[in-house]
Amino acid sequence: MRILIADDEKGIRLTLGDDLKDAGHEVVAVEDGREASRLINSEIFDCLITDIRMPGKNGIELLEDVKRVNPAIAVIVITGFGTIESAVEAMKIGAYDYILKPFPNEKIIALIEKIDNYNKLKEENVRLRSELGAKYSFDNIVGKSQKMKKVFEVIETLRDNDSNILIEGETGTGKELIAQAIHHNSRRKGKPFVPFNVGQFPETLIEDELFGHEKGAFTDAREKKIGRFERSGGGTIFLDDIDDMTLSTQVKLLRILQERKFERLGGTQTIELDIRVVSATKVNLEDSVTEGHFREDLYYRLNVVKISLPPLRERQEDVILLANHFVQKYRGEREYVIPPEALEAMTNYPWPGNVRELENAIERAVALAGNSQTLKPEHIIRPSVTEKKIATRLLDLRPISEIVDEAERMHIRNVLKHTGGQKAKAAQILGISRKNLWEKMKQFDIE
């Protein structure tokens, strides 16, 4: 940092100046308040250390000059004639701190280091915000990691074609945002984007939601209903959690993809479709095909182009970028700073809930910040339910067999969550056969 010392005591100018230089800072020292004011107006400084009583101008007047010229300069006021009134006055004007003489130089050096860290953090926040609006932001998706850049490149490549796309990724990775980006960066962007989450509807309602019905098609069909496929005409339909679709509905979806036409429930009129189909899955559909839960012919129809979204733990360089994005989203009219210890904790945390969990954490931290403009680490990173259970069982007096079974059950569940439910991959990580894994899942009642 570039520091200006204004004090008429030669001893302080020399000793404090030398110690600050030894700490790696550039120091200019003057004995007169008027000279200090001239330098503030003509040169750039990061910090001013000023005495209250000195020739030319006193420290309060100099502080006022600084805040008028450059409010970003941190000012540390020092004096041997301290009073409550002068301290309050200095802090009201905008002093960073107020220190009485005599003082150990180490105290000033520690304060300077704190100011330096804060300034660097502010600069980093400004840089990250500029990145959000520049090359690292693609529509509503935030990311600068190599894996996300590859996703953006694929979306750009698909701009001028209508191939069906399968998005694969864990829960919370932002699959719908990717689907929206695909639509809004395609030639269909002026047409409807219609999302449909298969997992949110019971089997009996899925076909009605997708295909619609004619009046009188069934008991409660009092009027005609336009389904999601018809509503997405000319645009894009997004089928989320396609892995939850039943085999019977899969057959009907396959026909639509093959023929690009369908009838409403209870209807005879054939409706032709001009749509793009983007689907998403939270599991590996190849495993579902192998296990007989998903039709192989439908899988190949949906999977013309596959986009694999990385979990947040595999793109840690995006964590801080995303965190700053969500701070801007939830901050309202206030400015907030994420302290260095919180930034470190965030980059080391695995984020099992992915981007969705990170967004919820930032929203919670902003809500709990109160009057503080610093987001607290404990409001961002909270112990998981599993960690709390472990902590409360440190004095558990059950038989060892029960403890071992519980640890094994927990570990299998964690590995399955890590693999997104892919049993073959989970078995490989666990070092057991798939048959053994299936037996253990049955033994521990793991779905």
pLDDT of residue 129: 54
3-state helix, strand and coil shares in percent for the chain, rounded to the nearest 5: 50, 15, 35
In 320-360 the beta strands, taken as DSSP E runs, fall at none
Give per-residue pLDDT as tens, 62-78. 889 888 888 888 999 88
pLDDT of residue 132: 44
Give per-residue pLDDT as tens, 365-402. 999 988 888 998 888 987 654 444 444 444 455 677 77
The tokens 């990691």 sit on which residue? 145
Band (pLDDT 50/70/90 cuts) for residue 434 is confident
Structure-model confidence comparison of residues 79 and 148, the more confident one = 148
Give the global pTM.
0.56
Bridge partners of 306, per DSSP, are 166
pLDDT of residue 130: 55
Using omega within 30 degrees of 0 as the cis cutoff, is the peptide bond preceding 192 cis? Answer: no
Q: Which residues of 255-276 are buried (b: 16+ CB within 10 A; e: fewer)?
A: ebbeeeebebbebeeebebebb
Q: Is 327 a residue whose pLDDT tops 60?
A: yes
Q: Which domains does the chain have, with CATH numbers?
A: 2-130 (3.40.50.2300), 147-308 (3.40.50.300), 312-382 (1.10.8.60), 399-443 (1.10.10.60)
Give the containing element (helix H, strand E) for 115: helix 105-132
